[in-house]
Amino acid sequence: MPRLNPAANEDPVARPVRSNKRKAPDFGEADAKRPRYAEGSLNNLPTELQVEVLRNLMVPDERDPLKTVRDLASLRRVNRSSRDLIELEIGDGKFVDLIRNIGVARWQLLKIIDPKEVEGKSRFAKAETIPWATPEQRSLLVSNIVRPDRSADFGDLTCTILNLDYLERSDRSRVQLHVCHLARTGPAAWELVKGLIEKSEHLDPADRSNLLKATFDLENPDARRDCLGAWAARCGRLDGQQQRSLLYAARNQASETAFTLGAYAHNLEQLEPANRRLLIEQILTTAPERPGRLWALSGLVSKLDVLVESGEQIDEYEKVRVANEVIAGLTHGPHEPAMPGPEHWMTDPELCQREAAHQLKSRPELLEQYQIAFLHSYVKGHLESGNDADLPSQVQLLPHMQRNQREHFVEQALRRATGDDDLVWGPTLDERVALALALREKDLEPAEREHFVNYISDVENSCAYLEEAVRHVANTGLDRFSPEQRTRIVEERLFTFQEKEAADASLVLGDVVVNARQLTSEDIAMMSKAVRALTVSFRVDENVDKADPNVRSLTARAARAVTVWTQEAVHNAADLSARSKLREGQSGIVTQLDDLENPSVAARGYDHRSNDTRGR
């Protein structure tokens, strides 16, 4: 018979647990076996701790917004009750649905960039993805780009300058020194200088001073003129003497002096009071027949309130002097010729005169009584004209129109305006109406804005001048349009983008990047798809220079747009205290959350802090 184990019938629970550990001393308790627990879960924590853990996922990481997106997306993997807790904590049950759509466009772009190149030795591929790199990777890339033994690659530098604000201060300084060195040793680097000027708010004062000197040292007069004009919107960070040097350099150019001075006039608030008076003197003493003078004068008129705010008596005198100069010009018409080409539409002399009249009449508190009377008569004469040729003038003066006259006027003007078949060059009548509407976009009522968007988004009406109208409203007032209207405007810009050569396509995409914060997730995905298609076509086109910085920077611009958009979406979603302010302005994050309540509407983006320059 087999031997029976006497312990076999014992209760297994009652049976003592054997242990390999040595016995505890008699004076202490025996070691207990470490119990096994189930995998860690938020469900095992008290409610207060669950909320605290999940709340920490809401902290936006400005240095790495995509990490924040990944953290937020992980909410999909927690259980329903935990998701309910975080949704209650942030105050909206649709937030998780929003997060699901944030990273889509980034993956679209990753299809263009070869990951092996990013991980390998390709400086350009690394420069394309600077916003997605760690600070250490960015610094290493800058070291490789500015090495003196490396040949200058303008594609690498273009992408690096585009993302200058993502670099550390010391790395920005190294890029600036390298670009200025290239500009002094070779004339082809002036576009890098201009690009760096457009990012100069991210440079230290010493770096800006060095960059300013490099601007003055440019030998090519056209290159120097473009760079002097680029400083106009950024000269507020320079000291008074540096501003004065810029104005003298602009005045002493061989050609197109008034256009450069006009750029400073449209940014008059950037200048110190003494330099404002210098600029006014330079513009008013420019010969009336010089092209661009009226554009510069209209810029001064649009900034009259800057002179008034200073409170100085001498500025009060300058204000009256500028107004009298405009009124004198209105009595006899423009003397200067119009510059041909769609890119010069805003400098058209007649358009500039009417714009100056509109700006003056809109500020009667700044004018003398005789000036008010003259402007009233001038505007009334244009608005009461029954001639179709005056439609552009009437549209430009729309805010001064009586209510009964204004009703349905925009719709009728777009219908009445027809092309001028006998025109040799310049915009046709309907194109001039559209350009005038673009100037008045912020003054349009909702129904008028809808008619305008319908017109400019009509493919049959597409032309170079209408492209300029679309570009103007996209860059100056996109936040005043509804999300659906914004998408249609972006569609027009991307349609233009796909039809352009490399240099022009780069400029168009740059405009989209500037407005990235105003776009929806659909818009960003649409942009990524367009960039991918055009990049692929450039790669297989034998007539396209693959080393052209404009070609090589397309993906980098798109990557920046995606990053800026993602960062803004994360910031808005996490900034709970700003929600009431966002709702008051109907900004994008609120619009998106509201749209998500309607299943037929796709998830949308955001648009907060639209005046910030990080998107550039």
pLDDT of residue 608: 28
| Alpha-carbon gap, residue 59 to 61, rounded angstroms | 6
For residue 364, pLDDT beyond 80: yes
Could you tell me where the DSSP H helices lie in 25-148? 47-56, 65-73, 80-90, 95-99, 104-110, 115-119, 123-128, 135-145
CB count within 10 Å of CB 83 equals: 17
Which residue carries 């005169």 as its tokens? 353
Low-confidence winner among 95-104, 138-147, 500-509 (lowest mean pLDDT): 95-104
Whole-number mean pLDDT of the chain? 76
Could you tell me where the DSSP H helices lie in 94-220? 95-99, 104-110, 115-119, 123-128, 135-145, 154-162, 169-185, 190-197, 205-216
Are 183 and 214 within 8 A, CB to CB? Answer: yes
pLDDT band at 374 (very low <50, low <70, confident <90, very high): very high
pLDDT of residue 56: 58
Closest of 419, 367, 365, 429 to residue 393, by C-alpha: 429
Closest of 502, 504, 524, 525 to residue 515, by C-alpha: 524
What angle, 0 to 180 degrees and rounded to 10, lies between the N-to-C axes of helices 240-251 and 205-216?
Answer: 20
- Render pLDDT for 120-137 as a digit per residue (tens, 0 to 9): 445 666 777 787 788 888
Of residues 124 and 283, more confidently modeled? 283
- Render pLDDT for 21-43 as a digit per residue (tens, 0 to 9): 444 444 444 455 555 545 455 55
The mean per-residue pLDDT over the stretch 531-559 comes to: 77
pLDDT band at 531 (very low <50, low <70, confident <90, very high): confident
The mean per-residue pLDDT over the stretch 329-335 comes to: 88
Task: Name residues whose C-beta falls within 8 Å of residue 322's C-beta, 6 or more positions apart in sequence.
Answer: 280, 284, 297, 300, 301, 304
- Render pLDDT for 156-200 as a digit per residue (tens, 0 to 9): 888 899 889 989 999 999 999 999 999 988 778 899 999 999 999
Token readout for 291 is 């092209």
In this structure, what DSSP letter does residue 386 have?
A: -
| Alpha-carbon gap, residue 578 to 416, rounded angstroms | 45
Task: Using the Cα atoms of residue 504, residue 508, residue 511 and residue 517 in order, give the sign of their dihedral.
Answer: negative
In this structure, what DSSP letter does residue 23 have?
A: P
The mean per-residue pLDDT over the stretch 534-543 comes to: 79
Instruction: Read off the pTM.
Output: 0.76
pLDDT of residue 590: 36
Are 189 and 223 within 8 A, CB to CB? Answer: no
Of residues 136 and 109, more confidently modeled? 136
For residue 139, pLDDT beyond 70: yes
Task: Using the Cα atoms of residue 533, residue 539, residue 540 and residue 545 in order, give the sign of their dihedral.
Answer: positive
The mean per-residue pLDDT over the stretch 478-494 comes to: 89
| Alpha-carbon gap, residue 4 to 10, rounded angstroms | 12
SS3 32: coil
Are 83 and 99 within 8 A, CB to CB? Answer: no
Which string of DSSP letters, residue by residue, matches 566-581? HHHHHHHHH-GGGHHH
pLDDT of residue 264: 97
- Render pLDDT for 210-255 as a digit per residue (tens, 0 to 9): 999 999 999 999 999 999 999 999 999 999 999 999 999 999 987 8
Using only C-alpha atoms, the chain has a radius of gyration, in whole angstroms, of: 31
The mean per-residue pLDDT over the stretch 517-525 comes to: 79
- Render pLDDT for 553-598 as a digit per residue (tens, 0 to 9): 787 787 777 777 766 665 655 554 344 333 433 333 333 433 333 3
| Alpha-carbon gap, residue 205 to 7, rounded angstroms | 87
Token readout for 419 is 């092309």
pLDDT of residue 42: 55
pLDDT of residue 144: 87
Token readout for 385 is 């004209």
Exposure string over 366-397, b if 16+ CB within 10 A, otherwise e: bbeeebbebbeebbeebbeeeeeeebbbbbbb
In this structure, what DSSP letter does residue 272 have?
A: -
In this structure, what DSSP letter does residue 149 have?
A: T
In this structure, what DSSP letter does residue 18 have?
A: P
Closest of 440, 525, 507 to residue 467, by C-alpha: 507
